[in-house]
Structure 1
Amino acid sequence: MKVFDVIPGQFFRILTGKNRNVYVEILLSLRKAFKNELYIDKESLVNIFAECLGDLMIPIDIEAELEEALSDLSDINIEGPQSITWSSMAHLILRRLRDTNWIEIEYKQRSYDEIVTIPPYSVSMIEFLHSITQENTQSYKSYAFNTYSSLKTVLSDDSEDYLFTALESAYTNCNLLRDSLKVLLNNIRRYHQILNNSAAANDILKNHFEGYQVLVNERIFHPLVTRDSVLRFKVPIMTMIDKIRSNEELRKRIVALGIKERQYNDPESGMEELSQKLYEIYDTFEGIDRLMQEIQNKNSAYTKASIDKMIYLLNYDQSVKTKLADILMKYSDLDEDKKEVVSSSLKLFKQSYIDEKSPYCRSNRKIRSFEPPEKIKITKTEHPENELSDFLKSVKSLYSQQQVAEYMEKEFGSRKVLNSRDLYIKDDRSFVMMLLAAMRSGEKRIFYDVEFLEGYIENKGYRYPNMRFIRKDEENNDKPLD
Structure 2
Amino acid sequence: MKVFDVIPGQFFRILTGKNRNVYVEILLSLRKAFKNELYIEKDNLVNMFAECLEDLMIPVDIEAELEEAESDMSDMNIGEPQSITWSAMAHLILRRLRDTHWIEVEYKQRSYDEIVTIPPYSVSMIEFLHSITQENTQAYKSYAFNTYSSLKTVLSDDSEDYLYTALESAYMNCNLLLDSLKILLNNIRRFHQILNNSIAANDILKDHFEGYQILVNERIFHPLVTKDSVLRFKIPIMTMIDKIRSNEELRKRIVSLGLRERQYNDPESGMEELAQKLYEIYDTFEGIDRLMQEIQSKNTAYTKASIDKMIYLLNYDQSVKTKLADILMKYYDLDEDKKEVVSSAVNLFRQCCIDERSLYCRSSRKIRSIEPPEKIKIAKTEYPEKDLDDFLKSVQSLYSHKQIEDYMKREFGDRMVVHSHELSITDDKSFVLMLLASMKSGEKRTFYDVEFLEGYVEKEGYQYPKMRFIRKVEDTNDKPLD
What is the TM-score when the length of structure 1 is the normalising length?
0.71
Q: Deviations over 1:252-286 (max 9, x none)?
A: 11111111101100011011100000000000000
CA distance in 2 between counterparts of 1:11 and 1:21 reads: 16
- Check conservation: 1:238, 1:285, Cα contact below 8 A: yes
CA contact (8 A) 1:174 1:284 kept: yes
Q: Deviations over 1:69-96 (max 9, x none)?
A: 1336677331211320000000000000
Alignment of 1:439 with 2:478, yes or no, is yes
**Contact conserved, 1:77 with 1:88, CA < 8 A, in 2?**
no
Residue equivalent to 1:155: 155
Contact 1:108 1:114 in 2 (8 A): yes
- The correspondence of residues 130-169 of structure 1 with structure 2, limited to 5 A, is 130-169=130-169
Tell me the SS of whatever aligns to 1:209.
helix
- What's the CA shift string for 1:390-442, capped at 9, x where partnerless? xxxxxxxxxxxxxxxxxxxxxxxxxxxxxxxxxxxxxx99x846x31x23483
| 1:261 paired to 2:261 | yes
Asked if structure 2 preserves the Cα contact closer than 8 Å seen for 1:136 and 1:215, the reply is yes
- For 2:41 and 2:78, locate their aligned partners in 1 and report how far apart those are by CA, in whole Å: 22
Partner of 1:345: 348
Q: CA deviation at 1:40?
A: 1.0
User: Is 1:271 paired with 2:310?
Assistant: no
Aligned equivalents of 2:332, 2:104: Cα separation in 1: 64
Q: 1:336 to 1:121 in 2, by over 3 A?
A: closer
Contact 1:192 1:302 in 2 (8 A): yes
Q: Which has the higher contact order (CA 8 A, sep 6+)?
A: 2
Structure-2 change in CA distance of 1:233 and 1:73 (3 Å): farther
1:309 aligned onto 2:273:
no
Q: What is the CA–CA distance in structure 1 between the aligned matches of 2:6 and 2:99, rounded to whole Å? A: 16
Amino acid at match of 1:439: D
Q: 1:23-53, CA deviations, whole angstroms, 9 ceiling, x for partnerless residues?
A: 0000000001111212211000000000000
How far did residue 227 of structure 1 move?
0.7
Counterparts of 2:329 and 2:24 in 1: how far apart (Å)?
A: 47
Aligned residue for 2:76, secondary structure, equals coil
1:237 is aligned to 2:276: no
CA-CA distance at 1:199 after TM superposition? 1.1
Structure 1: stretches of 5+ with no match in the other structure: 351-427, 443-480
Instruction: After TM superposition, list the pairs within 5 Å mapping 1:37-116 onto structure 2.
Output: 37-71=37-71, 76-116=76-116
| Distance in 1 between residues matched to 2:255 and 2:41, nearest whole Å | 45
Q: Distance in 2 between matches of 1:117 and 1:103?
A: 6
Distance 2:74 2:114 in 1: 17
Note the alpha carbon deviations across 1:275-298, whole angstroms, 9 max, x for none: 000000000000100000000011
Instruction: Give me the TM-score of the superposition, normalised by structure 2.
Output: 0.71
Q: Sort the Cα spacing of 1:177 and 1:84 in 2 relative to 1 into closer, same or farther, 3 A.
A: same
CA contact (8 A) 1:223 1:229 kept: yes
Note closer, same or farther for the CA distance 1:119–1:331 as it changes in structure 2 (3 Å cut).
closer
CA spacing shift, 1:281–1:349, aligned 2, 3 Å: farther
The 1-side partners of 2:325 and 2:130 are apart by 49
1:346-361 equivalence runs, <5 A: 346-348=349-351
**For the aligned residues, what is the CA RMSD?**
2.8
Q: Report if aligned partners of 2:73, 2:79 keep a CA contact under 8 Å in 1.
A: no
Cα distance change on mapping 1:303 and 1:106 into 2, 3 Å: same
Single out whichever of 214-223 and 193-202 deviates more from structure 2.
193-202
Shift of 1:115: 0.2
> For the residues of structure 1 that align with 2:68 and 2:284, how far apart are their CA atoms?
48
- How many Å separate the matches in 1 of 2:114 and 2:74? 17
Could you tell me how far apart the structure 2 residues matched to 1:335 and 1:24 are? Answer: 36
AA matched with 2:264: Y
Structure 1 residues 70, 241: closer, same or farther in 2, change over 3 A?
Answer: same
Aligned to 2:172: 172
Report the secondary structure of 1:345's partner residue: coil
Mapped to 1, the partners of 2:333 and 2:91 lie a distance apart of 58
Select between 323-332 and 155-164 the one with higher mean Cα deviation: 323-332
How much does 1:304 deviate? 0.8
Q: Is the 8 A contact 2:108 2:115 kept in 1?
A: yes
Shift in CA distance, 300/348, structure 1 to aligned 2, threshold 3 Å: farther
SS of alignment partner, residue 36 of structure 2: coil
Distance 1:440 1:44, change over 3 A: same
2:41 and 2:113 in contact (8 A); partners too: yes
Alignment pair present for 1:11 and 2:11: yes
User: Partner residue of 1:353?
Assistant: none
CA displacement at 1:334 relative to structure 2: 9.3
What are the Cα deviations for residues 107-138 of structure 1, in whole angstroms up to 9, with x where unaligned?
01111110001000000000000000011110
1:44 to 1:152, Cα distance in 2 relative to 1, 3 A: same
Give the Cα separation in 2 of the matches to 1:92 and 1:113: 19
Change (3 A) 1:262 1:349: farther
Are residues 215 and 250 of structure 1, via their aligned partners in 2, closer, same or farther at CA, if it must alter by over 3 Å? same
1:364-404 alpha-carbon deviations (Å, 9 max, x no partner): xxxxxxxxxxxxxxxxxxxxxxxxxxxxxxxxxxxxxxxxx
Return the alpha-carbon distance in structure 1 between the equivalents of residues 231 and 41 of structure 2.
52
Partner of 2:449: none
Distance 1:285 1:164, change over 3 A: same
* 2:299 alignment partner in structure 1: 299
